[in-house]
Amino acid sequence: MLKEIISKLIFTLIDYHLRTSIGILLLFGTYFLVIRPFFVSPLRNIPGPYWNRVSAFSSLNAQRTNKWIETVYNLHLKYGKVVVLSPYEISVNGSPQYIKDIYVNNFCKGNFYNNFRNHGHDNPFSELKNDTHLKYKRVLMNVYNKTSILSPQNPTRSHLVEAVSKVIRRLRKEQELSENGDIDVYSLFSCLAMDVILAFELGKESGTNLLENPESEEVVHWYRKKDSMGFWTTLMPRFWNLVATKDIKQAVNNIEQWHMNLYSKAERNIDKEKQPQCPSLKVLKLNGFHNKNAYSFITDNIFAGHRTTAIQLTYLCYELSRPTNLKWQNAFKKELVESFGMPSNTESILQDFEIVDKLPVLNALLQENLRVHSSIPGAQPRVVDRKYKIEVQRGDKTNEVLIPKGTTISCLPYAMHRQEEIFESPHSFNPERWLQYEGENAADFKERISKQQRFMMPFGKGIRLCLGMNLALLEIKFTLANLYWHAQSQISDTWCKIEDKTPNGCPIRLGKGNQHMNQTDEEKM
């Protein structure tokens, strides 16, 4: 009898706890899946997919699989100018006012950027506080100033001339050695950019000479392996060691040691630099930044300076080499010959930076490339740190929504650069949009270009504008001008199937994430 009573009591307790547990789960589920996203969340009136309101999982997974840019862009096409990306994050698009509010008026950076510290120290890019960032940036602003770079006394001019001369020689040598004349320009331009940025940061004697020593360019490949871990480095750093392969870990260690060796050499040479324009390392030391504190700044500049420049040059060559853009390659070569005449010999190098800098067709090509193929097309997140209201349109109604402090907010350059009302046929590579149209007066041309520029953000905006922008633009223009002054280019038919489209160009779409799946010159890039 007692046994039956105890047994019944146990089953009653189990049943009670089970019912209670189920009830609690249902309660929590109802709150997190229904009440919070639709009735409590301050972002409840922001359009977007249901699961984005509930969890950051879909956002993180899209970034992990390299589909984030395409995902956010498509969300804007479906839901409008403002979309919810996660329970605490939104993306805005379609108006230059958003760029002004977020980047020019300086919403602060969030903890995401702590993952861009180097050698255990902050740098201008990783620094979260705007006032401290500006303090850091001012130390090097004069070094990166365009007037300073173009000064006849600045050794950067001679460094660029020497580096581009090496590019031309290496192109000829590689073409002679190649069975079909094919050249891997991305690796070539990565070496060029690395040599240039290191001479600028550390001084020529302390830099690299990858262009003439291909066996040393393995550092470029180490960087690519490190780049492949971008998601885990910036968004899931606690899992980095679990995910990284032995090969990637070795590459990261190699990069760290490579940097330390460079800096050790530069420290020995720094007082020997007799140039009127000091390299960045010396400027930093003169302003009280020493050892790894200074190295963090330079490591950041090296990463950004070699990678983004190489990407831009590669895409420019890609576009000019496509059959559909042959007219632009011809127009560019014509502009060069009309400005400088034909090269007197195979070693001739254009050295008039001021003229190259102002060539209309070259500038149109560069602006359109920055629009279509931004080196950093992804979001540049900021954190709302003040009262901020935003207009949200749902159907015929427009509501004003207060975005709470602490919300992550961003513009997606890829989407901003593809506003159809500003850029006609936005997915097509069309440099003509940056030139004066036939019959268009000067005032209308200036107004149109100004309107287009308000939607452009390839180097960021506001006080966080890329420090190395002027050096990068001059390097790209000078390299491209000399390259096409001497040579023509076409896409290798062993790399992809080449489609000869109409002269007006064709849409450039996002690649499929695996280069072996991309079959044509349209899909490849």
| Per-residue pLDDT, 516 | 44
Query: DSSP E strands: which ranges in 288-396?
Result: 382-383, 388-394
Is residue 120 packed enough to be buried (19+ CB in 10 Å), middle (13-18) or exposed (0-12)?
exposed
Please answer whether residues 93 and 380 qualify as being in contact, where contact means their C-beta atoms are separated by less than 8 angstroms.
no
Look at residue 513 in the predicted model and tell me its pLDDT. Answer: 47
* CATH annotation of 123-377+412-524: 1.10.630.10
Rg of the Cα atoms in the chain? 27
Contact 442, 84 (CB under 8 A): no
- Helix (H) and strand (E) counts in the chain: 22, 6
Domain boundaries, the chain: 1-40, 123-377+412-524
User: Measured between alpha carbons, how far is 367 from 449 in angstroms, rounded to an integer?
Assistant: 11
Secondary structure letter of residue 118 according to DSSP: B
Q: Closest Cα partner for 275 from 351, 353, 209, 207?
A: 207
pLDDT digits (tens, 9 = 90+) for 154-164: 899 999 999 99
CB 352 within 8 A of CB 504: no
Residue by residue, DSSP assigns 190-248 as HHHHHHHHHHHHH-GGGS--TTT-GGGTHHHHHHHHHHTTHHHHHT-GGGHHHHS-HHH
Residue 265 has what pLDDT? 95
What is the model's pLDDT at position 40? Answer: 81
Taking a C-beta distance cutoff of 8 angstroms, is the pair 410, 379 a contact?
yes
Per DSSP, 103 falls in state I
Amino acid identity at 434: W
Predicted pLDDT of residue 514: 46
For residue 73, give both structure tokens.
């862009």
pLDDT score of 500: 63
**Run of H or E including 137:** helix 130-144
- Flag whether 506 is marked binding: no
Cβ proximity of 312 and 369 under 8 Å: yes
Query: What DSSP designation does 428 have?
Result: B
Residues 6+ apart with CB under 8 A from 145: 470
Spatial separation of the C-alpha atoms in residues 322 and 486, rounded to whole Å: 18
Per run of 10 residues, the mean pLDDT along the chain (length 525 residues) is 64 65 75 79 92 94 96 97 96 96 95 95 96 95 92 91 95 78 89 96 94 89 95 95 97 97 94 73 94 97 94 97 96 98 93 96 98 93 94 84 95 97 97 97 97 97 94 98 95 73 54 50 54
